[in-house]
Every structure is written in structure tokens, then in C-alpha cells.
């Protein structure tokens, strides 16, 4: 049986949070996010360079021998909490978490380590070429076919692909599954932006037509490396959802203290108090679930899949509830395009189906802890 880890934030994590929060407060106010999200450049790549290279966040998971910080999933979780609070339009999840985790899981000596240094330095950006809704434990994708060092096929709904320099692509060849690295650019690789619900984190379709590729994991390790990346992504996405929920709660509490109706703040009405008290309790429990998942991931705890399923099933729904309460308790202004509440609602709804829906994670949890199936 694993030992319960310390879920409190360390001094290092607090310092990292302060640095990221200061940067986002200075460079990523919600008004700037709102102005950008409907333009042809939805990502703030200048912010990304400052976050990735300036603060070193892109290389948190990368060992020092590859030029990274050699930190753990706990520090990455803190960064994601802050990015969620700001609905920041940067490719952190796709590049620094999903693609980097896949490359790290491929192991040294297979060529994946050549990609890690530039990614850790923020000089290059990568994306894991699977649909964003793919949950941990999903079958190995069969949409891309490998023939020698050439890949052909199409993957829909890839997160952060539109700004990626590299794609980490699962593909199946004559000798079985493999993970390949593909350079974006040239006529053999097409990345087509799709209209997504969350305009602050677009998804794209990737089409490969005989694209040159380099295999970084063969049949013996490709499926495990891909699954490790999906587990890491799902476990850490819970921290981003926690950040979304915290920001929605704080924003709403601040608003109901200042909005008057019938001569008193609307936050003074018992019904509003009860709703926000329930939300506070839900956010507090979400913090525990997200922190436990990150801690299990950081220590390779055998409980990591259980922790991930619990965190995703719970934090997804808490983030959506918090965003819905934020919209509703702001009244009419919460429904307008001029207010950031809808940015948080869309981020929460998009995250709810990313890397597995709550129902999918509850079903996975039931299997992991050997619970009987529900009786119809």
C-alpha cells in the first residue's frame, strides 16, 4: 500500500506560483485573452516564450541532463493551476506535458532525447498527435500508417498542434505500433485549424501524406509510452481545472459583495450564500484530488491510475459547476461577450471531455478498484 504524500505546497512551489502569477498578471489580463481569441493568432507566443524560456516552465518535467529543470509533476501542476486561473492561450499542456511526457517515456537512446533539449528551452514546441478526447487506456490509434520512415494518415482534434514545430505521432507499421517524430512544414504535413468551443486553446486536424518521420519508440514500448503521456496529461489537467474553478469562485464572491439589490449586497441573501458555500466545499475537495494525482505522478506511485481517475471525474465537474455559477450569479453581464465568465465556462466545458470524460474515468475507476457494474 502506498503512503499518503504531503499535499501541502512547498516553498519552491509557492515561489514558482508567484513568478507565474506575476507574469500572467502583467502579460495576460482577461481583456487581452478576449481580444486575441477570435483573431488569426489565438495563441500568445510572446507570452509562451517568456513562460517557457524565461521562467523555465517548458522544461520542468525534463531531466537536467537534457537541459531541463529536473522538477516533478507537482511543480507542473502548480503552473497549470495558474494557467487555468488566467485561461492563458499558451501551448503548455500540449507541448510541455503531453508531447514531452511521451518523449520521456520513450527512453534514452531511441532518439527522443534529441528533441527534449529544444523543447525544454522553449526554442521549439511540440504536440502529441492524438484526438484531445483520448483517455488513458484507449487502444493504440490506427489512423496513421507507417511505411518505412514515411507516415500517411489523418488525426482530428489535436490540441496545440497549430503552433507546434514537432509532432509526436502514434502510427502502425508492418512490425506493429510505433511513436514517430515529424517536423511540421512542407507539403506532406498539413495542420488545419478547427472551430473549437474553447477559443483560447484551439484544436486542429493533422494530415500526413508520406511525411518524413523518425521513429523514437518501437512495438515493444510505443503503446506504453503513449499511455504514460495520456495518464500524465489527464492527471495534470485536473490542476488546470482546479485553477479555473478557483478563479470562478473568487470572481463570483467578489462580485456578489458589490452588486446591490433591494438595498443590500446580493451576497447577503441566504440562497446565494448556500450556493457559494457548496461551491467552496467542492473546490476544496477538488484541490485535494488534483494534488494527490500530481503527487502520485511525481513519485510514480502505483496508485497513480486510481488517483487520476478520481481527479478527472471530480475536477471536471467542479470546474464546470464553478463556471456555471460564475455566469449565473453575475446576472445579465455574465452572459455578455464583454465579460470573461464565458471564457471560463468554455474552457471548463472543453476540458470536461478532454483526455476522457467524467463518465469514462468513473468506469475506469470502477474497474481499477474492482467495483461491480451498476445495475440498470
262-308 pLDDT, tens digit each: 899 999 999 999 999 999 999 999 999 999 999 999 999 999 999 99
Residues spanned by CATH 1.10.540.10 within the chain? 11-121
pLDDT of residue 344 exceeding 70, the answer is yes
pLDDT tens figures, 169-218 = 999 999 999 999 999 998 999 999 998 899 999 999 999 999 999 999 99
Residues spanned by CATH 1.20.140.10 within the chain? 224-367
Contact 52, 27 (CB under 8 A): no
pLDDT tens figures, 270-281 = 999 999 999 999
Residues spanned by CATH 2.40.110.10 within the chain? 126-221
Average pLDDT over residues 79-93: 97
Span 224-367: which CATH code? 1.20.140.10
pLDDT of residue 106 exceeding 80, the answer is yes
Residue 239 to residue 82: CA distance in whole angstroms: 9
* Domain 11-121 grouped into CATH 1.10.540.10: yes
* Domain 126-221 grouped into CATH 2.60.40.1120: no
Contact 194, 347 (CB under 8 A): no
The values of phi and psi at residue 158, to 5°, are -90, 125
In 83-161, at which residue ranges do the beta strands (DSSP E only) sit? 126-128, 144-147, 150-159
Contact 238, 311 (CB under 8 A): yes
Considering the chain, what is the average pLDDT of its residues? 94
- % of the chain with per-residue pLDDT over 90: 86
The values of phi and psi at residue 36, to 5°, are -80, -30
Amino acid at each position: 500500500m502506498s503512503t499518503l504524500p504531503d499535499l501541502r505546497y512547498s516553498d519552491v512551489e509557492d515561489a514558482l506560483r508567484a513568478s507565474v502569477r506575476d507574469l500572467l498578471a502583467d502579460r495576460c489580463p482577461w481583456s487581452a485573452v478576449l481580444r486575441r481569441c477570435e483573431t488569426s493568432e489565438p495563441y500568445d507566443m510572446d507570452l509562451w516564450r517568456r513562460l517557457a524560456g524565461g521562467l523555465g516552465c517548458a522544461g520542468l518535467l525534463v531531466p537536467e541532463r537534457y537541459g531541463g529543470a529536473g522538477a516533478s509533476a507537482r511543480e507542473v501542476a502548480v503552473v497549470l493551476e495558474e494557467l487555468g486561473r488566467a485561461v492563458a492561450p499558451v501551448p503548455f499542456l500540449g507541448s510541455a506535458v503531453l508531447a514531452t511526457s511521451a518523449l520521456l517515456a520513450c527512453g534514452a537512446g531511441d532518439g527522443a532525447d534529441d528533441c527534449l533539449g529544444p523543447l525544454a528551452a522553449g526554442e521549439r514546441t511540440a504536440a502529441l498527435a492524438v484526438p484531445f478526447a483520448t483517455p488513458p487506456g484507449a487502444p493504440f490509434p490506427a489512423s496513421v500508417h507507417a511505411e518505412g520512415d514515411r507516415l500517411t494518415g489523418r488525426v482530428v482534434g489535436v490540441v496545440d498542434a497549430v503552433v507546434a514545430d514537432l509532432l509526436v505521432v502514434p502510427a502502425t507499421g508492418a512490425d506493429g505500433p510505433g511513436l514517430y517524430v515529424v517536423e511540421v512544414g512542407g507539403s506532406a504535413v498539413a495542420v488545419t485549424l478547427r472551430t473549437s468551443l474553447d477559443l483560447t486553446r484551439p484544436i486542429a486536424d493533422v494530415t500526413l501524406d508520406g511525411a518524413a518521420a523518425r521513429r523514437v519508440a518501437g512495438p515493444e514500448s510505443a503503446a506504453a509510452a503513449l499511455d504514460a503521456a495520456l495518464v500524465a496529461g489527464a492527471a495534470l489537467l485536473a490542476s488546470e481545472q482546479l485553477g479555473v474553478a478557483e478563479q470562478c469562485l473568487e470572481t463570483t464572491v467578489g462580485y456578489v459583495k458589490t452588486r446591490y439589490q433591494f438595498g443590500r449586497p446580493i451576497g447577503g441573501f441566504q440562497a446565494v450564500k448556500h450556493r457559494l458555500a457548496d461551491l467552496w466545499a467542492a473546490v476544496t475537495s477538488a484541490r485535494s484530488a488534483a494534488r494527490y494525482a500530481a503527487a502520485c505522478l511525481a513519485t510514480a506511485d502505483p496508485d497513480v491510475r486510481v488517483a487520476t481517475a478520481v481527479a478527472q471525474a471530480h475536477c471536471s465537474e467542479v470546474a464546470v459547476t464553478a463556471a456555471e455559477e460564475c455566469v449565473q450569479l453575475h446576472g445579465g453581464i455574465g452572459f455578455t461577450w464583454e465579460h470573461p465568465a464565458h471564457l471560463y465556462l468554455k474552457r471548463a466545458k472543453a476540458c470536461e471531455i478532454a483526455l476522457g470524460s467524467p463518465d469514462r474515468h468513473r468506469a475506469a475507476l470502477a474497474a481499477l478498484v474492482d467495483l461491480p457494474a451498476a445495475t440498470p
